Chains A and B, each alone.
Chain A
Amino acid sequence: MKTRHELITDSEFTGRRSLTSVITRVSGRGARLLTAGLIMLLYSTSLLARELPQDPLDSIMWQSMADRFMPDGQVVFDERVKVMAPLSAENQFHVPVTVDASQLDDVKKIVVVADLNPIPLVMTMRPEKALSYIGFRLKLQQTSPIHVGVLTGDGVWRVGYAIVDAAGGGCSAPAAAHGTSNWMKTLGQTRALASRVDAGNARMTLRMKHPMDTGLAPGIPAFYLNELLVRNGAGDTVAEIDLYEPVSENPTLTLRPRVGSEAETLIVSTRDTEGNEFDFPLTIPASTDL
């Protein structure tokens, strides 16, 4: 059995040493075993830790963003993940972002994070019968890097990025809806546009009335559209999207579904955090109608 002193000197890192010594002092032998286990665990996780590439934007949150939202698997920066965003946000409540990873094959998941937002996770998307592409708008609490991780079938996260200069407060001010007396009446009201690009591709934009409350404005609890599923006529998933608090009020999303040459009716199903469901069909014209 090692003495407390030996145990301390065995430990290489100051942080671990003090933790060890505190626990050992408090509860004797059982704790010593636990501590040894803890040390092994710490060592093993640090051995398994991924080698993260240097962030071109030098975001202080990069390590944390990768650990939290792109767990497991190799991480590489990849130019094929295009993130379009303005250098400066004209409106911190509506910052337009378009992600285009359509040059990548076998995309399983797209994750969008705004590193310096109080709630960094913006959305995730799983494209099935759709290009790895999505257009949307987000709220920024301050100037922030935006990282987009695209998980491909080989288990690699391919990352693109942009940085947007912004005035403050995009996430903590009440939604504009709260300035009107009857926003509940128009909740879920949807406008949408669907068009065919060519024989195999369509483009759809939907715009839905929803306050997308972050929960960070005083006295207004979080309330936002959080699920969006697009299916085709055969019931196959076209794309599945999870939305989070930073998505802008009245979410406006652009997708590029893959379709056949015949006219096709897509079914869009959405749901918010209060369980309200809003579903609607959207018809892509046949390519012969072009």
Chain B
Amino acid sequence: MKISRVSAVPHSRARRKALQWFAAGCGCAVCGSLHARFLDFDLSAVEIASKTWAVLGSNEYFTMENGGNIVNVAFIEVPDGVVVIDSGPSKRFGDALRLLIEKTLPGKPILRVYNTHHHPDHFLGNQSFDASIIAAPQKVIDNIALEGNGFADNMYRLLGDWMRGTLPVAPTLALDANTEDVGGRKFSLFYLSGHTSSDLVIRDDETGVLFCGDLAFLYRAPTTPHADIATWRQTLVTLGNIDKSLLLPGHGPSDSKEQAISQTADYIDWLHGGISDAVSQGLTMNEAMLLPIPARFEGLGVVRTEYERSVVHLYPALEDELFPLIELRR
């Protein structure tokens, strides 16, 4: 009797699940299994340097197909535990990342999670980690407090059920030191800006790997919703001058040849120049969105989409800068 009661539980669960698929118009077995796969991140870790793993996202924009797995996160084994860089776009992703870390480094405690900046794909996985170990510059914390809810709303709109249960969680540790020892490993911290008003860059001083967040992109078009192009340009020079063995961009493969920095600089220079020209010609945003993109950027993931977004981001400030002020007749 006891045995049958125990086995009845998963049975009825399975039936309820099947009924749910049915209710959703997905009664067939094919759809059911497709859905099951759909909402599972299949994360894998690539060892990009000694004891340093990157989880590389696709070079796309958020879609229901990729579930928001479009961003690079990383984790490092330090003597006493694990350091995590960025937490991904959702609770679901954060949970999957935790599992992956546990699978890769069984029994190792997570000692620190850094958030490089306040964009949703980089911090909405924070919920899966102990808030007391999540650290970022104060300005990143402020930006998350200010915009986190709005970002989360929009991510639910774009990604639906992939986001289930996700809430924005701000880091609790405000960083201001230039170096930090975590679990017996020294990290250098660089407080930069340009992609947003606060971008944290982290260097593992043991391996020389530089974690750039979204200050650098590789083979994926840079994004500009909070960018200050002139500052970003300066920051890329600074990044170039930092000693490093390898660079992990926020989006795209790891880079040992400084390609990410030069490609990002080339792209944002063109973007700023091209959009300035369009504004000066009096083109509307819609007309500017149709302008050709140089062949050398054709290989960048989602370049047309990002270019169109950038037109909307950069136009208003450039109009204020480039249109002459008119004296009103009263």
Contact = CB atoms under 8 A, between A and B. Distances in A.
Interface stretch (B23-31, B163-171, B207-215, B320-328): B320-328
Contact of B325 (A98, A135, A189): A189
Interface residues of B, number: 29
B313 A191 contact: no
A203 interface: yes
B319 A252 contact: yes
B316 A94 contact: yes
Contact of B284 (A94, A135, A206): A135
B127 to A, nearest CB: 22
Contacts of A281: 329
Interface string B239-271: 000000000000000000000000000000000
B154 to A, nearest CB: 5
A98 B312 contact: no
Given A188-B328, A278-B328, A280-B329, A207 B284 contact: no
A205 B329 contact: no
Interface stretch (B7-15, B197-205, B285-293): B285-293
Contacts of B329: 279-281
A98 B286 contact: yes
A223 to B, nearest CB: 18
A97 B326 contact: no
A193 to B, nearest CB: 5
Interface stretch (A1-9, A83-91, A210-218, A230-238): A83-91
A192 interface: yes
B309 interface: yes
B323 A191 contact: yes
Contacts of A188: 328
A98 B281 CA distance: 15
Contacts, number: 84
Contact of A193 (B225, B282, B287, B313): B282
A94 B286 CA distance: 12
Contacts of A207: 319-320, 323
Given A192-B323, A207-B323, A86 B282 contact: no
A190 interface: yes
A189 B324 CA distance: 11
B180 interface: no
Nearest to A90: B312
Contacts of A278: 328
A213 to B, nearest CB: 18
Interface string A175-201: 000000000000011111111000000
Contacts of A204: 282
A86 B309 CA distance: 9
A205 B286 contact: no
Interface in A73-121: 84-86, 90-91, 94, 96-98
A85 B286 contact: yes
A191 B327 contact: no
Interface of B: 153-154, 157, 225, 280-282, 284-287, 289, 308-309, 312-313, 315-316, 319-320, 322-330
What 3 A-B pairs have minimum CB-CB distances, sorted nearest first? A135-B284, A96-B285, A191-B323
27 contacts: A84-B286, A84-B287, A85-B286, A86-B289, A90-B309, A91-B312, A94-B312, A94-B316, A96-B286, A98-B284, A98-B286, A135-B284, A189-B328, A193-B322, A194-B282, A195-B281, A205-B284, A205-B319, A207-B319, A250-B316, A254-B284, A277-B330, A278-B328, A279-B328, A279-B330, A280-B328, A281-B329
